[in-house]
Structure 1
Amino acid sequence: MPVNATTSFQAAVDRKPASPRVSARISHDAAPGRIRFKHPGLIGRKRLARAVDAALRNCRGVRTTRADAATGSVLVEFDPPAGPAALARIIDAAAAGEEPAPLAGESAALALSSAASGDQHAAERHWHAMTAGGAAELLGAGLSRGMTDEQAAERLLAFGPNELPRAKPRSAVAIFAQQLVSLPVLLLAGSAVLSLTTGGVVDALVIAAVVVLNGGIATATEHQAERTILGLSDYAPEPVPVLREGVRRHIHPAELVRGDILLVERGMLIPADARLIESSELSVNESALTGEALPVQKNAQFVLPADTLLPERCNMLFRGTAVTGGCALALVTETGSSTELGRVQSLLNAVRPPETPMQRQLDDVERELILLNGLICAVVFGVGVYHRHGLVAMLRNAISLIVAAIPEGLPAVATTTLALGVQNMRKRDVLVRRLDAVETLGAVEVIGLDKTGTLTENRMAAAAIHTAGLLLRLEGDRLLHGDREADGPTAAVARRLFEVAVLCNESSVRPGPDGPLIEGTATETALIEAALAFGVDAVSLRFSAPVLENAPRSEGRKRMSTLHSVEEGRRLLCVKGEPSEVLALCSAQHTAEGVQPLDEASRANILRANERMAGQALRVLGLALCEKDADPRDECDLEWLGLIGLVNPIRPSVQPALRRLARAGVRCVMITGDQSATARAIARQLDLANGGELRVLEAGQITDLSADTLAALAGQAQVFARVSPVDKLNIVKALQTGGRVVGMTGDGVNDGPALRAAHISIAMGGDGTDVAREVADMVLASNDLNGVIEAVRLGRATYANIRKVLRYLISTSVSETLAMLGAALIDGGVAMTSTQLLWLNIAGEPLPALALGLEEPESSVMDQPPHDARAPILSMGDFRHLIREGVMIGSTTLAAYALAGGTRNLPRASTITFHGITYGQLLHAIRCRSEAPGLYGKLVHSQNHKLNGALLLSAVAQVAAQLSPATRRALNLAPLGGRDILTIAGIVLGGGLANSIFDYAVHIRSASAARRLSLGKPS
Structure 2
Amino acid sequence: MNTNINENKEELVDSKTLSLDQEWYKLSNKKICSVLETNPETGLTDREAKIRLEKYGRNNLPKSKKPNWFVIFLKSFLDPLSLIMILSGLVSGLVAITSQKIETVDITGLVIISIIVLTNSIIATVQEVKSLNQVAHLNENKQTAIVLRNSKKTEIDIEELVPGDIIFVNSGGFVPADTRIIDNQLLKIDESALTGENEPVKKISDSIKEQNLMLGDQKNIAFMSTLVLEGKMMGVIFGTGQDSEIGKIATKISSHKPEKTPLERKVTHLTATIGLASIILGLILFLTSFFLLTDENSKTIKELLVISVSAAISLIPESLTIIVKICLMVATKKMAKKNVIIKNPKSIETLGNVNVICSDKTGTLTQNKMTVDKIFIDFKEMDYKDFEKNKYKELINCITLCSDAIVEKEKIGSATEIATIDFIKKFEIDYKKMRLIHERFDEIPFDSKRKLMTTLNEVESRKMVYVKGAVDYLLDICTNKLINGKITPLTQEDKQIIQDQLYSFAKRGLRVLGFSQKDITENKEKYESNLTFLGCVAIIDPPREEVKASIEEAKKGGIRVIMITGDHKITAFEIASRLGIADNNFDGVLTGQDINELSNEQLKERLKRTNVFARVNPEHKALIVELLQEENNIVAMTGDGVNDSPSLVKADIGISMGITGTEVAKGVSDVILADDNFKSIISGVNSGRNVYEKIKYSISFLIAANISQILTLLLILIINKDIALNSVNILFHIFIIETIVAVPIGMQKERRGVMKNPPPTHKRESLLKGITLQIIITTLFNTLFAVLNYEIAILWFGSDAKEFAKTGVYIAIMFSPIFYSLLYNNFFLPIKTTKDLKEIDKYRPNKWLLILMLVAFITTTLTLIPIETINEFFDFKTKGLNPILAIIFFINSLLPTVCIYLTYKLILKFI
On whether the aligned pair clears a TM of 0.5, the verdict is: yes
Q: Secondary structure at the match of 1:190?
A: helix
Matched, 1:392 2:306: no
1:836 shift after superposition: 2.3
- 2:843 is aligned to 941
Provide the rounded CA distance (Å) in 1 between the counterparts of 2:254 and 2:655. Answer: 29
1:810 aligns with 2:715: no
- Is the contact made by 2:262 and 2:763 (CA closer than 8 Å) also made in structure 1? no
Amino acid across the alignment from 1:187: S
Write the distance in 1 (CA, Å) between the matches of 2:421 and 2:730.
75
Residue in 2 that maps onto 1:897: 790
For residue 922 of structure 1, report the CA deviation from its aligned partner.
2.0
Alignment correspondent of 1:989: 894
C-alpha spacing 1:521/1:725, structure 2 compared with 1 (3 Å): farther
The 5 Å alignment of 1:701-740 reads 702=594, 705-706=597-598, 707-717=600-610, 720=612, 723=615, 729=621, 733=625, 738-740=631-633
Which structure 2 residues correspond to residues 834-983 of structure 1 after superposition, within 5 A? 834-875=727-768, 878-901=771-794, 905-928=801-824, 930-932=828-830, 941-963=843-865, 970-976=873-879, 977=881, 978-979=883-884, 981-983=886-888
In structure 1, what is the equivalent of residue 522 of structure 2?
none
Q: Which residue matches 2:66?
A: 166
Give the distance between the partners of 2:570 and 2:23, measured in 1 at CA: 46
Deviation (angstroms), 1:194: 2.0
Query: Deviation string for 1:936-989 (max 9, x for gaps)?
Result: x99993421222223222233323444487766544453353356324313411
Distance 1:267 1:925, change over 3 A: farther
CA-to-partner distance for each residue in 1:3-59, whole Å, 9 max, x for gaps? xxxxxxxxxxxxxxxxxxxxxxx9xx7xxxxx9xxxxxxxxxxxxxxxxxxxxxxxx
Is the Cα–Cα contact under 8 Å of residues 615 and 680 in structure 1 kept in the other structure?
A: no
Of the three residues 242, 255, 262, the one matched with 2:145 is 242
Secondary structure, counterpart of 1:645 in structure 2 = strand
Question: Residues 282-302 of structure 1: CA distance to partner in whole angstroms, max 9, x if unpaired?
Answer: 896799xxxx99999999979
C-alpha distance 685-142 of structure 1, shift in aligned 2 (>3 A)? same
For residue 774 of structure 1, report the CA deviation from its aligned partner: 6.6
* Corresponding position of 1:225: 127
User: Gaps spanning 5+ residues in structure 1: where?
Assistant: 1-25, 30-34, 36-81, 88-101, 110-123, 552-558, 567-573, 625-638, 1007-1019
- Tell me if 1:998 matches 2:903: yes
Alignment check: 8 A CA contact 2:196 2:641 kept: no
Report the AA paired with residue 923 of structure 1. F
Alignment length (residue pairs): 838
Q: Can you list the C-alpha shifts for 1:803-842, whole angstroms capped at 9, x where unaligned?
A: 1111112212211221222233223432222232222221
Offset at residue 526 of structure 1 (A): 1.2
- On the 8 A contact 1:752/1:775 being kept in 2, the answer is yes
Name which of 228, 237, 240 aligns with 1:331: 237
Instruction: Report the CA distance between 1:914 and its aligned residue.
Output: 2.8
User: Does 1:611 pair with 2:508?
Assistant: no
Structure 1 645/851 Cα, relative in aligned 2: closer, same or farther at 3 Å?
same
Paired residue secondary structure (1:844): helix
1:381 Cα deviation after fit: 0.8
Q: Distance in 1 between matches of 2:729 and 2:85?
A: 16
Residue number in structure 2 paired with 1:185? 86
In 1, the alpha carbon distance for the partners of 2:439 and 2:630 equals 52
Q: Does structure 1 retain, via aligned residues, the 8 Å contact 2:147–2:167?
A: no
Q: Distance in 2 between matches of 1:177 and 1:754?
A: 33
1:106 aligns with 2:15: yes
- The alpha-carbon distance between structure 1 residues 766 and 879, as it changes in their structure 2 partners (threshold 3 A), is same
Equivalent-residue separation in structure 2 for 1:804 and 1:406 (angstroms):
16
Equivalent residue in structure 2 for 1:422, among 332, 337, 349: 332
Give the Cα–Cα distance (whole angstroms) in 2 for the partners of residues 393 and 316 of structure 1.
Answer: 80
In structure 2, the CA distance between the partners of 1:907 and 1:450, relative to structure 1 (3 Å rule), is same
Deviation sequence 1:587-630 (CA, Å, 0-9, x none): 9655549xxxx999999766422122346774435899xxxxxx
Show the 5 A alignment for 1:128-139.
none
Query: Structure 2, unaligned stretches of length 5 or more?
Result: 457-466, 482-489, 517-530
Q: Which structure is larger by alpha-carbon Rg, 1 or 2? A: 1
How far the C-alpha of 1:784 sits from its partner, in A, is: 6.4
Segment of structure 1 superposing worse, 793-802 or 173-182? 173-182
Structure 1 segment 680-719 matched on structure 2, within 5 A = 692=584, 696-697=588-589, 699=591, 702=594, 705-706=597-598, 707-717=600-610
Change (3 A) 1:955 1:683: same
1:443 is aligned to 353
Task: Give how far 1:873 is off.
Answer: 3.9
Aligned counterparts of 1:314 and 1:813: Cα–Cα separation in 2: 69
Alignment of 1:62-101 (within 5 A): 84-85=7-8
The separation in 2 between residues aligned to 1:755 and 1:283, in whole angstroms, is: 21
User: Residue in 1 aligned with 2:279?
Assistant: 374
Change (3 A) 1:152 1:826: farther
Q: Secondary structure at the match of 2:69?
A: coil
Separation in 1 of the partners of 2:442 and 2:643?
Answer: 33
Q: 1:241 touches 1:263 (CA, 8 Å); kept in 2?
A: no
| CA distance in structure 2 between the partners assigned to 1:367 and 1:141 by the alignment | 64
Are the structure 2 counterparts of residues 341 and 898 from structure 1 closer, same or farther at C-alpha, using a change threshold of 3 Å? Answer: farther
State the distance in 2 between where 1:543 and 1:403 align: 89
Does the residue aligned with 1:853 lie in a helix, a strand or coil? helix
**How far off is 1:685 after superposition?**
5.8
In the TM superposition, what is the alpha-carbon distance from 1:377 to its structure 2 partner?
A: 1.4
Q: Cα offset for 1:563?
A: 12
Q: 1:599 to 1:448 in 2, by over 3 A?
A: farther
1:827 to 698, 704, 720: 720
Say whether the 8 Å CA contact 2:582–2:588 is kept in structure 1.
no
Residue 886 of structure 1 deviates from its aligned partner by 1.8
* Cα displacement (A) at 1:790: 2.6
Quote how far apart the aligned CAs of 1:382 are: 0.8
The secondary structure found in structure 1 opposite 2:277 is: helix
Kindly state the Cα deviation for residue 709 of structure 1 after the two structures are TM-superposed.
4.2
CA root-mean-square deviation: 6.1
Match of 2:763, SS state, is coil
Q: Which residue of 2 aligns with 1:201?
A: 103
CA offsets 1:101-152 (integer angstroms, 9 cap, x no match): x85761648xxxxxxxxxxxxxx99688998999988988655555678987
SS at match of 2:829: coil
- What's the CA shift for 1:206? 0.7
> Percent identity at matched positions?
20
**CA deviation string 1:757-783 (max 9, x = no partner):** 655555678578878767765444557
Structure 1 pair 405–693 and aligned structure 2 pair: CA distance change class (3 A): closer
Distance 1:256 1:784 in 2: 33
Contact 1:550 1:561 in 2 (8 A): yes
Cα 1:138/1:776, change in 2 over 3 Å: same
Q: Distance in 2 between matches of 1:968 and 1:142?
A: 92
- Cα 1:497–1:86 change in 2 (3 A) is closer
Q: What is the one-letter code of the residue matched to 2:86?
A: V
| Distance in structure 2 (CA, Å) of the matches to 1:173 and 1:685 | 49
Q: Are 1:620 and 2:512 an aligned pair?
A: yes
- CA gap of 1:663–1:982, structure 2 versus 1, over 3 A, is same
CA distance in 2 between partners of 1:813 and 1:195 (Å): 22
